[in-house]
Each structure stands twice: as C-alpha cells, then as structure tokens.
Structure 1
Amino acid sequence: MTIESNVNQSNDLDSFRSLTALQQPTWPDAERLDRARSILSENAPIVVPAGADQLRDNLARVARGEAFLLQGGDCAESFAEADSARIGNKIRTILQMAVVLTHGASMPVVKMGRMAGQFAKPRSSDTEIRDGVELPAYRGDMVNGFEFTAESRIPDPMRMVEGYRISAATLNLARAFTQGGFADLRRVHEWNAGFLKNPAYKRYERTAKEIDRAIRFMAACGVDFSALRTTDFFVGHEALLLDYERSLTRIDSRTGNAYDTSAHFLWIGERTRQLDGAHVEFLSKVANPIGIKLGPTTTPDQMMALAERIDPDRVPGRLTFITRMGASRIREVLPVLTTAAKREGLVAAWATDPMHGNTITSATGYKTRRFSDVMDEVVGFFEVHRSVGTIPGGLHMELTGDDVTEVLGGSEEIDDEGLAARYETLVDPRLNHQQSLELAFLVAEMLVTG
C-alpha cells in the first residue's frame, strides 16, 4: 500500500481538535486568531508537495544506509536575526559539514536546515518569574516577544502570519544560495581549507589533504565543475503550533493527499508525542516525511505504537526517529529500541540529536552544554547502531554559522567565564561555526572506520 492510500484513509484534517494539544499558547483574542488562520489558509504554500516527496525518497536512502542526513540550525529562529548574512552563515556551515561528511562517508549527504519555520518552542512552564514578577513564558517569536514585559509576552496569533512571511523569505534565500553558485564544491572546499589551517585541527590534516587531492584529481580529469554548482536543500521544523500547521495544509492536486506545506519535513517533539494527543493525530494525516523525537524514557512499545500511527504501511522515508538520550544514557537506552526495531522489521531512518539531552547550567548561570558530552553522545549513537546491526543515519543539530560562545569546550576551549562573550541564543545553546565543523570531522572519521 502506498503512502497515498495511507493518508487518505481518513481525510478529516481537523480530527486533532477533539484531542488534548499540549504546549499550545492561550490566544487571548479568538477573533484575531480566526483572522490569522484565514490569512494563512489563503496564502501560497511555502513548499510544494513534490519537494516533500523528493525528501521522502532521499530519507528512504538514509534508512537503507545509502545516504547520510545532516540537519542543522537554530534552536529557535528569531524574526530580528532573519537577515541574509546570518542565514548565509548557517547554510555555509551546513554545506561545509556536508562536504566533510561526503568525503568521509563516500555517500550523498541529505542537507536540511532547521530553519524557515522554527519560530516556536515548547517550554517546561507556562509562566516565568523574575524579581517576583510572573509573566507568560516566551514561546518563540511566532507566539510572543522575548522582552520581559506584560505587553510583549501576550500571545498574538498575527505573529504566525509574520512567521509565515519570514519563513517564505528564508527559504527563498536558501534556494538562491544553494542554486546560484554559493554551494559550488570548489568554494565549499576553500572554506574548509581556511578552517583546516587552524593549528588546533592538525589531527584532521590527512582528511584535508585527501579532499584537496580529490579536487585536484577531478580538475585534472576535466570534470565539469559547473555541474556541481548547485545542491538540494530542504527545510524542517518542529510542528508545534497546530493552528499554524493546519492553516498551511493543502490538498495536492496530483494525488488528493494532504501535505503540510509549511516545510518539507516536520517532527514531533519529546513533549508532544503522546499517542492519543493532537500532534500525533494531525501529523498522521499529512503525507510529509515525519520525524519523532525519542528521549531516554521511551519504551519499545511506545516506539512501535508511534510508528504504527504515523507509518502503518511502513513506507520507506516516511518515518525518521531522532534520538535525544543524553551522553550518560544513550549506550543504555538506545540498544533496547534499535534491537526492537530490527526484530520487528521497522522501516525508519535514525538520526541523533546530541544537544537536548545534555543541557546544564554553568557556574555563571548560563544554560549551556559541554561539547565533550555532545561528542560523546554522537560516538555512542554510532557504537550502538553498529553493535546492533542497524544504521546510524544522520545528525540533527542546533548550530549557527556565527562565532557565538554558548557551548562549553571545543578547540576554542570556551569556559564558564567565556560564555558571556557572545551568548546570543534566546532559548537553547548552539554549536558555533568551528564546533560544528569539529563535530563533522569526528563523524567523518567514524563513517570511514565503520
């Protein structure tokens, strides 16, 4: 049975409204919410269904071990930072990581931004208290403002319309970068060469020389590099705000299937993956490839039940499991899940999110992560999959192309005091440009030795 018949088994796209929807803002103005929904419903899609289908085919290759997934971007995008320089830096970093991984894996890398829609975030509490003042929690720019004032923290549904506008512009810019020569293989290599000149990366010298030798060899053979000037680039975000996602859902004229046209790829977070919840119900009705975050408390029964709801026909590329266990738990928990998946013949791609399970508070009060923990979780991810005989398919990273100081450690040896230099994130800490590349080289080495 094809995915088309699966998603058409029930065409009631509003069935989720009768179920519990966690992590939703309390919109204070119903009339304003209706207006925002109406505007979004009437606007053009951000992506087209054919693009989502192309990504699904690529993720099927990831599940078979024929490609590797790299998804990276901000924890939470902000309206103020949606400018061409920052977007270009993120794309450049993803492309640099991808060329390192392609060299290491000798296989295609599926490149996806955690962008063009990542404007909402789940929170552990509905409110925030500062100096005895209690206000609604900041839930991302698509919901309310970061500034700690009563006016700023009021959820405003028209922010979803602004988020739509900025997401569409971001994707258009990403396409311009990746289709207009910015992704030229020779240019990406030049960026990597600049990075590799840093003395801190002498242990990667052999990889650098091999990349350079391959480029020179292809040039000597008369390879037409103009054919390598472009690359496919997809976007995805957590499908958190159901009002936004439902309003951007369209029926594909080719097949009659429903697609959430806010992004090529949507994922269900650890806090909203309840089997009887609204998020699982809604995303079971759209034909996009879907990711599900799996934390350290996930049981095999829960994993299999979620797979049955989202992908009952086991369509290759439909389902991606994104594990976020924490460095101290991954070698204990992940084998149980991967063994069950292998036993049951589950068709899914596996990616690791080594960021969310390793969050700490620094001695100076910053929300941060240790780069060593991030690296260790990635190593554990590969170790477990190889011991079980399943496929370590990809990375799902919170990163930026800027030289921020939000994650402890790395070759720059960012310490507690150093976090204050350029701590810019509004929610969770991100790897900076050099840390992202350092991680890519680690994974490339593991792909080679694997």
Structure 2
Amino acid sequence: MTYTPRWPPDTPARIRRRAVERALADRLDAALARPAAQQPGWPDPDRVRAVVRRLTAGEPLVAPAETRRLLDRLGAVARGEALLLQSGDCAETFADSTEAHLRGNLGLLRRMALVLTHGAGLPVVTVARAAGQYAKPRSAPVDAHGLPVYRGDIVNSAEATHAARAPDPERMAWAHAHAREAMTVVRRLARGELADAHALHEENRRFVDTAPGGRRYAARSAAIGRGLSFMTGIGAPAPRLGEIWTSHEALLLDHERTLLWIDAEGTEPQLSSGLAHFLWIGERTRQPDGAHLAFAELLANPVGVKIGPGTTPEQAVEYVRRLDPHGVPGRVTLISRMGHDRIRQVLPPIVEKVTASGRQVVWQCDPMHGNSRTAANGYKTRHYDRILDEITGFLEVHRALGTHPGGLHLEATGENVTECVGGARGLAEADLPTRYRTACDPRLNAEQGMELAFAVAELFAAGTTPSPETPR
C-alpha cells in the first residue's frame, strides 16, 4: 500500500512539494518491502490496511519542531556537554495508561535526573519510555504453554487463551488513542508539578531519610539542597526543568508508518515520525538488510540502535554511516547492552572504531537487557549489582578512551514492584511473586532507581569506577 506522507501546512518550498512527496513515498515503500523481523502474523491483511488508512488520516502526537529541539539537545550530549537519561516501562499496557502510573514513572525519571545533574555537573536530557512503548520483540513465536507469544498490547492480549493471543490490528488504534492521552499528561506534568526542582529534591530527601541505605547519600542530597537554596537566596528564579520527550522502540512497522510528516528543515527532506520524538531499533531488528534500519534511515528524528555483545565494530560504523550520512551530532545514539561480564571487553573496539569515523554519536548504556536471567522460581529477573556493574564498566571504558559516557537507558517504574532483586533492601528471589507486575521484562522499582541514580552520581563525581561485588 503506497503511503503519501503529509506536508505541514506552514512548511515552505511548496513548489517542490509533489516531487518530494513522491520521492519519499517511493523510498518508504521500498524500505518497508524489505524483510521485517518480529512482525505479527496478522490473520486478515485487509483489516490491517483499513486500520492503517484510518490512523494515517489522524493527527500526529508530536511535531517536527519538537523533534528538532530534542536533536539539538542530543547534539549537546554527543559533544560531552550534557547527559541523556531514558527510563520507563519495559512494555506499556492499556490498563496502566493512567495519570497516576505516568506520574510515578515520570517523577522517578525527573528525580533521578536531578541527582545525576549534580553528580556529573552537566544538564540531563530526560526521555521517557512512554506514550507508545506498546510493542515488544520476543525470542520465540510461542510461549511455554504452546500459545502464540504475547507481543505487547498493540498486537494481542497477555491473557493466556488462543483467542486473546490472536493478533488484532484494531489494537493499533487503541494504542494510538492511549498514546495521545498519555502525551497530554506528559506535557502537562512536564510543565507543571514535575518542573519544580525544589519539590523533586524534597522527594529525594525523603528517600535518603527513610530508605534502607539512603543515609549513605546524605552528603550528596544535602549538597543538592544547598545549591537550590543558594539560587533562591540570590533572587534567581526558582529552578524549572525543561521538556520531557517521549520514545519507544520502532518495532511494529504497520503502526510506525501511519503518522509521518515531511520535514524539509534539514540537509534534505526527510520523514518525521509523529508518534514519538525518539525511536530506537532493537537488538533483534537491527539487520543491515532489514526493513527496520531502512525505515530509520528515512527519519529526521534522532534514532537509537541497540548493540549487543555480538555487534562488531564494523557493524556499528555501518549503522552510524547509514543513519547519520550528514554527520549531525546526536542524530544517532548507540545503546550498548552487553552484560556486566562482557562490556569491558566488547565495547572498547566499537567506541574506538566509531570515534575514528569522525561521527559524534551519543553513547548510552542499557544495563538491563544483558543481565536478565530466570530465577529458580521461574520469574525473569535482574540483579541490582549486575546492573550497576555494567554501568561501572561503561564509565570505565569511556574514561580509558577519553570519550563521553552519554547516558543511561533503564527500565524502571515509580511503583513499589518486586521484579529486580538486590539493592539496599535486599530483595530476594523469594520476594519476586509479591508484586511482580511487569507485562514483559523486570523493572527497577522507585527505591532501586533512586539508589542507582545516587550511586552513579557518586561515580561521576569521583571520577573513579570501583566495581561492586558480583552477586552469586
């Protein structure tokens, strides 16, 4: 199905409009004709086409001007002038698409960013895994019970029946409706209660005062408080935090193709996704000849690529060359997800090779996915110490090479879940069933997220990276 992207009504160069539209539509169709991994087997292609047509006629969630502002901020990260913190649910669900849930997740993101800003002495760009993270790649087409695997609420239901697991294209429309409502909440909270640095610091101070192990960060917390008080004391405006951008994995291509602007502000006309400000290509869909990478090449949005331990330096350079042909700082984020025991060996030659290419990318650490394991009681989990150790290794590598460790990509929630083990409270495998609520992979809870933020801030501030004891 040929898709013609829309041209914003206030965009100049109308003389070229039709030629540009035709060229981009042809390139988009060619990209989507390539092999595409991790796509559902829709039982009725006609229903899929009908839903895609309906969504294409709708209004985008984000505008190119917003996306360009994020690209500018990520350029600062790539140049070593800022950090990037990305966090949120592994997989959003329709049931949890509530203001209370979003407030918890976004509040945790902001509170962690405040701590990292102080520790690193750099501004932090906050990007939420929110308002679109409804699809998930899976390692097998069927689950342990022989049912079609749950691929996220945008495709099917987690309910364990054959009927519920059947891919339903109407869910793409439901996902879009939920994402639109979530975007409204994100914007309001970012401009309102989650823009107040003093209020966020008070929440962090309560963590330090009451959480197990929190007192070890009392000096850092007090220093943050003094800095905020100083600004108030000299009559400076109360610190207000900036935008919260949204992101998700560009996985379900039938949905990703629906809302695209033409953005002619850059070096060449490109497509700008109206679904999120930042998109990333996952470890399972980064095939050089695949549809996902070809789709990402057409976008004006900043894009990320997850790179696992099997990534070669040459592959990393190819991703950057294809996704950033004009050498725009911050256009590409390389998200390493190696595992705590491999990052110190695998990442250095990749960083060296990409740096030698002359491109200024954002180096980001995903310490979650390489450290997943199945506990003895059958629950998928991650150990806090291994998460911190992978971040520590990430910092060690960049310090040794003289490059900038640009940031973190976490799966974390503001709720009091029991999904990752370890941390100062000492959650154990026996605790996992208590509040194990994730729709897919285990998330850090609010307490573990804040503990991690303070620990990483200490590493940044000290300029040293001692490894924690590896858990048994």
Tell me which interval the TM-score lies in, with the shorter structure as reference length. over 0.9
* 1:121 corresponding residue in structure 2: 136
* 1:262 corresponding residue in structure 2: 275
Pick from 235, 238, 248: which aligns with 1:237? 248
CA distance in 1, matches of 2:355, 2:139: 33
**Residues 234-257 of structure 1: CA deviation (Å, up to 9, x unaligned):** 001000001111111222376753
Whether the 8 Å contact between 1:181 and 1:229 is mirrored in structure 2 is: no
Tell which deviates more after alignment, 121-130 or 65-74. Answer: 121-130
Q: Find out whether 1:73 has 2:88 as its counterpart.
A: yes
CA distance in 2, matches of 1:36, 1:289: 27
Tell which deviates more after alignment, 203-212 or 232-241. Answer: 203-212
CA distance in 1, matches of 2:402, 2:144: 48
Alignment of 1:160-199 (within 5 A): 160-198=172-210, 199=212
Q: Find out whether 1:247 has 2:247 as its counterpart.
A: no
Whether the 8 Å contact between 2:131 and 2:180 is mirrored in structure 1 is: yes
Aligned-partner residue type, residue 206 of structure 1: A
Whether the 8 Å contact between 2:329 and 2:359 is mirrored in structure 1 is: no
Whether the 8 Å contact between 2:110 and 2:194 is mirrored in structure 1 is: no
Q: CA RMSD in A?
A: 1.6
* 1:34 corresponding residue in structure 2: 49
* 2:101 corresponding residue in structure 1: 86
Alignment of 1:351-390 (within 5 A): 351-390=364-403
* 1:276 corresponding residue in structure 2: 289
Secondary structure of the residue that 1:244 maps to in structure 2? helix
Q: CA deviation at 1:221?
A: 1.2
CA distance in 1, matches of 2:165, 2:37: 19
Pick from 67, 81, 85: which aligns with 1:52? 67
Tell which deviates more after alignment, 209-218 or 53-62. Answer: 209-218
Whether the 8 Å contact between 1:88 and 1:177 is mirrored in structure 2 is: yes
* 1:148 corresponding residue in structure 2: 160
1:30–1:9: structure 2 CA closer, same or farther, 3 Å change rule? closer
- Percentage of pairs with the same residue: 46
Aligned-partner residue type, residue 180 of structure 1: G
Q: CA deviation at 1:346?
A: 2.5
Q: CA deviation at 1:9?
A: 12
CA distance in 1, matches of 2:241, 2:86: 18
CA distance in 2, matches of 1:250, 1:231: 24
TM-score when scaled to structure 2?
0.91
CA distance in 2, matches of 1:369, 1:17: 35
* 2:466 corresponding residue in structure 1: none
Aligned-partner residue type, residue 261 of structure 2: R
Aligned-partner residue type, residue 72 of structure 1: S
Aligned-partner residue type, residue 49 of structure 2: D
Unpaired segments ≥5 residues, structure 2: 1-12, 14-19, 464-472
Whether the 8 Å contact between 1:14 and 1:282 is mirrored in structure 2 is: no
Aligned-partner residue type, residue 136 of structure 1: P
CA distance in 2, matches of 1:47, 1:25: 26
Q: CA deviation at 1:8?
A: 9.7
* 2:329 corresponding residue in structure 1: 316
Q: Find out whether 1:135 has 2:150 as its counterpart.
A: no
CA distance in 2, matches of 1:392, 1:214: 25
Aligned-partner residue type, residue 418 of structure 2: T
**Residues 189-237 of structure 1: CA deviation (Å, up to 9, x unaligned):** 1111110102522221110110111122222212221xx3452110010
Q: CA deviation at 1:183?
A: 2.1
Aligned-partner residue type, residue 294 of structure 1: I
Q: Find out whether 1:347 has 2:334 as its counterpart.
A: no
CA distance in 2, matches of 1:9, 1:289: 23
Q: CA deviation at 1:135?
A: 1.9
**Residues 156-206 of structure 1: CA deviation (Å, up to 9, x unaligned):** 111011101111111110111111233211100111111010252222111
Secondary structure of the residue that 1:368 maps to in structure 2? strand
* 1:442 corresponding residue in structure 2: 455
Q: CA deviation at 1:129?
A: 3.5
Q: Find out whether 1:111 has 2:126 as its counterpart.
A: yes
Aligned-partner residue type, residue 247 of structure 1: T
Whether the 8 Å contact between 2:263 and 2:300 is mirrored in structure 1 is: no
CA distance in 1, matches of 2:21, 2:215: 55
CA distance in 1, matches of 2:205, 2:216: 14
Whether the 8 Å contact between 1:249 and 1:258 is mirrored in structure 2 is: yes
Q: CA deviation at 1:138?
A: 0.3
Q: CA deviation at 1:262?
A: 0.7
**Residues 36-57 of structure 1: CA deviation (Å, up to 9, x unaligned):** 1011100100100111111111
Aligned-partner residue type, residue 188 of structure 1: L
Q: CA deviation at 1:437?
A: 0.6
Secondary structure of the residue that 1:235 maps to in structure 2? strand
Aligned-partner residue type, residue 203 of structure 1: R
CA distance in 2, matches of 1:9, 1:270: 32
CA distance in 1, matches of 2:94, 2:189: 20
Aligned-partner residue type, residue 244 of structure 1: H
Q: CA deviation at 1:139?
A: 0.2
Moved over 6 A (4+): none
Give aligned pairs, total. 440
Unpaired segments ≥5 residues, structure 1: none
Q: Find out whether 1:424 has 2:437 as its counterpart.
A: yes
Whether the 8 Å contact between 1:180 and 1:230 is mirrored in structure 2 is: no
Q: Find out whether 1:212 has 2:225 as its counterpart.
A: yes
Secondary structure of the residue that 1:112 maps to in structure 2? strand
Q: Find out whether 1:287 has 2:300 as its counterpart.
A: yes
CA distance in 2, matches of 1:292, 1:349: 11
Whether the 8 Å contact between 2:150 and 2:165 is mirrored in structure 1 is: yes
Tell which deviates more after alignment, 392-401 or 176-185. Answer: 176-185
CA distance in 1, matches of 2:192, 2:356: 45
Tell which deviates more after alignment, 333-342 or 372-381. Answer: 333-342
**Residues 53-111 of structure 1: CA deviation (Å, up to 9, x unaligned):** 11111111001110000000000000001111110000110010011011112211000
Whether the 8 Å contact between 1:403 and 1:433 is mirrored in structure 2 is: yes
